[in-house]
Amino acid sequence: EEIGKAKYEKTKQSPKAVALKVNLRKAWADHVLWTRNVIFCLVDDLPGSDQAVKRLLQNQDDIGNAFKPYYGDEVGKRLTELLYPHITIAAEVVKAAKAGDTKAFDIANKKWHVNADEIAEFLSHINSKWEVTEMKKMMAYHLALTIDEAVNRIEKNYNADVAAFDKIDNEILKMADMFSEGIVQQFPEKFESCKGE
């Protein structure tokens, strides 16, 4: 019992670190949730696609804003600027896949990967805990999972579609945790517990 208690006390996070983790998990979970909503709209010709895209773009603002308290307004704004094409190009990828247009798909997919590398490089530049090679791998995996999700939906392979979303849902939470842990490590003074907290 004492050993378990000591272990818990050693790993316990400050309330501010926990709040950051929760906030980033929410922002990134919304990212894949609203991406899925947009995929449904585009693939299944559902109403409300404009509203879903608008909400997904708002999520990119939310993510950028979550970084501002630690890196400043300019960094948060730049992150959002990089994330916007991540969404708009993703729509091009899905539309080309649905149309079976291999040439358009390849062009859009290449652009998407270039943008993903830009995001990875930007993030690794602001926090050395986020090593650029690992960030690029993580972003490439995120794109691959998103494509898998969309293609399975297009092919009406709904069991595989659900399995793909489960994978990307787990992946995005790991990504969010990596960001929160990196921020806490970079700015420990912002996460120290105060008496009475």
Average pLDDT, the chain: 92
79 or 9: whose pLDDT is higher? 79
Q: Residue 3 above 60 pLDDT?
A: no
Q: How confident is the model at residue 193 (pLDDT cuts 50, 70, 90)?
A: low
Task: Please provide residue 66's backbone torsions phi and psi, each rounded to the nearest 5 degrees.
Answer: -65, -25
Q: Residue 27 above 90 pLDDT?
A: yes
- pLDDT tens sequence across 154-174: 999 999 999 999 999 999 999
Residue with tokens 């804003």: 65
- Whole-number Å distance between alpha carbons of 167 and 21: 20
Identify the pLDDT of residue 4: 44
158-186 vs 15-44: helix crossing angle, rounded to 10: 150
- pLDDT tens sequence across 105-157: 999 999 999 999 999 999 999 999 999 999 999 999 999 999 999 999 999 99
Question: For the residues 77-93, what does the mean pLDDT come to?
Answer: 97
